[in-house]
Amino acid sequence: GQQLNQSPQSMFIQEGEDVSMNCTSSSIFNTWLWYKQDPGEGPVLLIALYKAGELTSNGRLTAQFGITRKDSFLNISASIPSDVGIYFCAGQLQSLGRGGSNYKLTFGKGTLLTVNP
Amino acid sequence: DAGITQSPRHKVTETGTPVTLRCHQTENHRYMYWYRQDPGHGLRLIHYSYGVKDTDKGEVSDGYSVSRSKTEDFLLTLESATSSQTSVYFCAISADARGPYNEQFFGPGTRLTVL
């Protein structure tokens, strides 16, 4: 199956610092999504990207769809304690199935972010 | 927040027993998905549905079956639970298969333990 390499696996930072994480793939994706998961809860969508080169912000979060379509980056500026959690990237490689064009996401294994107050 | 609920939220069962997990949505989205999340493996797709009575397999479908008789409900059944199916199960929904409405929204999860 498709592989997404997400790095770093974990980060331990001080409150106020900026954070960067990324995902790379050997395949070309049509969509990149970034999620955050808090303990005991489901992933929550942060940012969706649909075009190569696209740069999208959501508050202190900024994500980019790589120009090669094989990577994506998420930056968090001025981190705060509530940013703690696991961040996942997910890519869509549109494929044909019994339902016609269908949508399957491939997930990275996550980046665990810890913020020290 | 997307209107997705999962039941039960926690379940402990014994090997060999059947188990059914329910996902209910109030968004009228066409696509529904079941994932399992395990340490070291991340989120893996079990089955998905692209309409009422229309389902297809994901990457880890062995030992699982699904049914969708109504738009709002998607059931995941473990016919005979095994310890390897101990996991956290997430349901997700999306309005469409292609961007820009293909974002998947996740439910709160069901933690299943098979003894």
**Nearest-Cα residue of chain A relative to residue B54:** A99
Which tokens go with B105?
A: 């929204």
- Does position B85 have pLDDT exceeding 90, yes or no? yes
Between chains, do A104 and B58 touch, taking CB under 8 Å as contact?
A: yes
Of A42, A45, A99, the CB nearest to B50: A99
A–B CB contacts, 8 A cutoff, strictly below:
76
Average pLDDT of B87-108?
Answer: 87
- Does position B11 have pLDDT exceeding 60, yes or no? yes
Between chains, do A103 and B58 touch, taking CB under 8 Å as contact?
A: no
Task: Please report, rounded to a whole number, the percentage of residues in chain A having pLDDT higher than 70.
Answer: 90
pLDDT bucket at B30, cuts 50 / 70 / 90: very high
B49-62 residue pLDDT tens: 999 999 999 989 99
| Antiparallel, parallel or unpaired: β A31-37 and A105-107 | unpaired
Question: What pLDDT was estimated at residue B41?
Answer: 82
Report the mean per-residue pLDDT for chain A.
90
A44-101 residue pLDDT tens: 999 999 999 999 999 999 999 999 999 999 999 999 999 999 999 999 876 555 554 4
Q: Which residues have C-beta within 8 Å of that of residue B19, sequence separation ≥ 6?
A: B11, B13, B77, B78, B81, B112, B114
The distance of A86 to chain B (nearest Cα, Å) reads 11
Of B40, B45, B90, the CB nearest to A104: B45
On whether any CB of chain A is under 8 Å from the CB of B95, the answer is: no
Average pLDDT of A20-40?
Answer: 93
Q: Which residues have C-beta within 8 Å of that of residue B101, sequence separation ≥ 6?
A: B94, B95
The distance of B80 to chain A (nearest Cα, Å) reads 26
Question: What pLDDT was estimated at residue B101?
Answer: 67
**Nearest-Cα residue of chain A relative to residue B36:** A42
Average pLDDT of B96-104?
Answer: 75
Question: What pLDDT was estimated at residue B81?
Answer: 97
- Does position B106 have pLDDT exceeding 90, yes or no? yes
**Nearest-Cα residue of chain A relative to residue B1:** A44
On whether any CB of chain A is under 8 Å from the CB of B39, the answer is: no
From CA B59, how far away is CA B39, in angstroms rounded?
17
What secondary structure, in 3-state letters, does B12-78 show? EECCCCCEEEEEEECCCCCEEEEEEEECCCEEEEEEEEEECCEEEECCCCCCEEEEEEECCEEEEEE
Average pLDDT of B19-39?
Answer: 95
